[in-house]
Amino acid sequence: MKSTVKKSQIIRGDAVAELRKFSSAVFDLTVFSPPYDQLRDYDGYTLDLHALGAELFRVTKDGGVVVMVIQDQTCDGKKTLTSFRTILDWCDNIGFGLFECNIYQKQGKDGAWWSKRFRVDHEYMPVFVKGGKPRHFDKTPVKIPSKHAGKVMHGGANRNKDGITVDSRRMTINPTKCPGTIWNYANGGDKVALKRQHPAAFPDKIPYDFIRVFTRKDDAVLDPMVGSGSTAVAAHLLGRKYIGIDISRAYCDLTVARIAAMQSNLAPGFKNAKPPPAISPETAPGAALRASVFDRAASNHQPATRHRNQPPHHHG
């Protein structure tokens, strides 16, 4: 069994089966988005979120963190509640604690059928922790500018637990502040042509921010459903070791190609490759980048496809 992550790898295979090949307490952080509510057909493959959660708990270090990006399908006008059931299951039955539940706020426009519902402009990002507290937590890198930075204003009139309100006081507003639990990202903000070969990728900035908050340099980061490679790319840019797993050979190849060509708007001096490079793991400079594809799935499986007329879920 693999007791440490000595080099970064992209592995083709079933997530649960591949994680069982790792020793316990290997990873510092996991950031991923699972296929949920059967919104996507992975050539007959299904995902057991409970089994995945159990393996993630086992391979996570004490104080390590697992972040899931998830939403719920709407069926017959009602939400499936898959996200809530999964959070309760992972906490009540597997052993995780819920450190926080952040919100990924998306920008977009009304669809054709939103006249009958509120437009869904968010996804949940439950932040699970193994043990008491995260082994590393530093929100300084993700602080945002204060609207009234440098101004002297009255404030701080908070109410105590006993119901007494503390008098407001004069204070100088800091240049930056904590972003809170609602993180706003533009859906099309990445503008990476190669990444758009995946139909439902989330912004690279999501794993980039979580990696900066919950890990140090050379820590090990995992994405068990690597998709378009957002988590692996972010980990590579930040100097973390990473493992990415996907059942789709096409998405493994896509991730390696993005890393090889530094196709992320977060990369210094980023320029879109035109046309997007068709780099196979056999010809990409993957060794120099410590990224290679290990193919453990049957060779007859093809890239995943999306159900017709159903919205894609976000996936790496």
Q: Is pLDDT larger for residue 59 or for residue 284?
A: 59
Question: Residues with Cβ < 8 Å from 252, sequence gap 6 or more?
Answer: 10, 11, 12, 226, 244, 246, 281, 293, 295
Residue ranges and CATH numbers for the domains of the chain are 9-109+119-143+178-306 (3.40.50.150)
Range with lowest mean pLDDT among 136-140, 203-207, 273-277, 305-309: 305-309
Nearest Cα neighbor of 95 from 122, 145, 60, 47 is: 60
Q: How far is CA 132 from the centre of its chain?
A: 22
Condensed to tens digits (0 to 9), the pLDDT of residues 60-109 reads: 999 999 999 999 988 888 999 999 999 999 999 999 999 999 999 987 66
- This prediction's pTM: 0.83
Nearest Cα neighbor of 90 from 59, 51, 123, 120 is: 51
Condensed to tens digits (0 to 9), the pLDDT of residues 114-142 reads: 677 888 889 999 999 999 999 999 999 99
Encoded amino acid at 207, one letter: P
